[in-house]
Amino acid sequence: MQCHGFSEDSVNFYANLRNGGNSVEIYNDTKKVYYDKVLPELVAIFEKVSMGLSSHIPELKFDVTEDLGRPFAHVPMQFAWGAITRNGFTKHTDLQFFVALRFDYLRFGFYIPNKDRCQNIFGTIYRNIENNVDQFIELLEELESDGIVLSAKTANGESGKPKPLNFNAKYPQISILENSEFSLMSALPVEEIIDTDVSTKIIQCYERLIPMYKFILGLE
């Protein structure tokens, strides 16, 4: 637990679930691994990462009772995830700094869909990019040099390896709108995260994202 990473049991949990067809039966047979390993390891990572992030943006917080995704919602979820958002917001209403463990990659960065109660913040992001495309592209190029990708939408069952979003550099906001979400992320293959301090790499990614975060939300 002190390494702030994931055990081999946690990494194997989602691979085994996938190999079993993501069935309720497989989930029920193995869910003890989720509660004994995946969940506490994910919480430990968020507790460390949120402290580092809030030192830069005090309004950001992580609430273990509110900010974790459910492991089962009618069917087993195909990844474990959680979010850090601002005071007064939730993972359903704000641009979130996220961590998500899939069967093949650990993804981290920030994300917001263009739906439901997120639409207001998504609209703010769209307009801020539209009003200053040059600054957005400059910030994006700096992030890309660090391996942080403006990602195309990824279906639940797909590989977690980020897929770069294709866009016209004159009108990037149009492609982001058509993508139905805005996400900037990095990722590590699960083979590289076993019993390793991934929280440090996540904090480093988040720190690189802060200038973009402030720009797209108009916090500068």
Within a domain: 122: yes
Within a domain: 65: yes
CATH of the domain at 211: 3.30.930.20
The tokens of 103 are what?
């069967």
Within a domain: 3: no
Within a domain: 183: yes
Within a domain: 144: yes
Q: Domains in the chain: how many in total?
A: 1
pLDDT of the residue at 7: 94
- What is the Cα–Cα distance from 56 to 54, expressed in whole angstroms? 5
pLDDT by residue for the chain (220 residues), tens only, comes to: 455 789 999 999 999 999 999 999 999 999 999 999 999 999 999 999 999 898 899 999 999 888 999 999 889 999 999 999 999 999 999 999 999 999 999 999 999 999 999 999 999 999 999 999 999 999 999 999 999 999 999 998 899 999 999 999 999 999 999 999 999 999 999 999 998 999 999 999 999 999 999 999 999 6
Within a domain: 58: yes
Which of the 8 DSSP states describes residue 153?
P
pLDDT of the residue at 1: 43
pLDDT of the residue at 2: 54
Domain, as residue range, for 98:
8-216
Within a domain: 2: no
Within a domain: 160: yes
